[in-house]
Amino acid sequence: MKHTRSDGPTELTFEQKRALYRDGYIILKNIVPKELTQRARRLVNITAGKILNGTMDPPKRRNRYVGSEDAITDLINKTALTDILTNTMGPFDPPTHGFAPILYPREPSREIGNHGLPDDEVPNHAFFPHIDGQWSGAIPKTANEVDDWHVPKTPHFGDRSANVLGVNGTPLFQNPDCTLSLGSFTCFAVVVLSDQSKFGCGNFAVLRGAHHHTAEFFRQQRDQGGVIGPEGHGWARLKRVGGDYSQR
């Protein structure tokens, strides 16, 4: 199936660029043709069915997402988003992978998540604000699982080398000297495939203006010397949050 880029604007207006700088994101409507979003939704639904009936290969089922198929990458490569992105940030290689997480609603529980708190104690539908580009994986649930809160060498964090990958494929450190624990990227291009017209719907959220605060924080880390990112100044890799929930 061949598609051509949709008609429409190929560059942000001056006001849109100002809004992008101010808020850190901008919403563009009717940029991706419905034909392509329906094609992507169909792929996601088919994949979800395979997960539920157990017919998907174990490695793919464990990841629970689709991304390398044309139905996903065409949302950028075959639409006006390519021109808009190019005119905004400069030339880039066509994406070969996307990320379409298949996540299901669930009732809040006492399970401890990445926040370090029970799921039912986290507000806003257990929204997990985070900075992308960092290692992600299983976290300690009790103090007994951590041998050193300042320089952890527990199984959760491997051997502190740049070769240790998390469940998201991101290394614990980006360089052999272990001075950079955050990867980098220029932008997220998000194409909404599910209903997000009400608060708490959908699988994507942003915090307006947060990029200004994080930029200032990284400048402070840089000026202090040492690691940029987790384990750098003001950002301990492990931090006790709340109480010990292991007995609840």
pLDDT tens digits along 12-33:
999 999 999 999 999 999 999 9
pLDDT category of residue 125 using cuts at 50, 70 and 90: confident
> What is the pTM (predicted TM-score) of this model?
0.79
Mean pLDDT of 62-66: 59
pLDDT at 205 > cutoff 60? yes
In DSSP terms, 180 is beta-bridged to 228
pLDDT at 7 > cutoff 80? no
What are φ and ψ of residue 226, in 5° steps?
Answer: 90, -155
pLDDT at 156 > cutoff 80? no
User: What are the C-alpha distances in Å from 16 to residues 10, 27, 84, 122?
Assistant: 13, 9, 12, 33
Q: Are 157 and 237 spatial neighbours (Cβ–Cβ below 8 Å)? A: yes
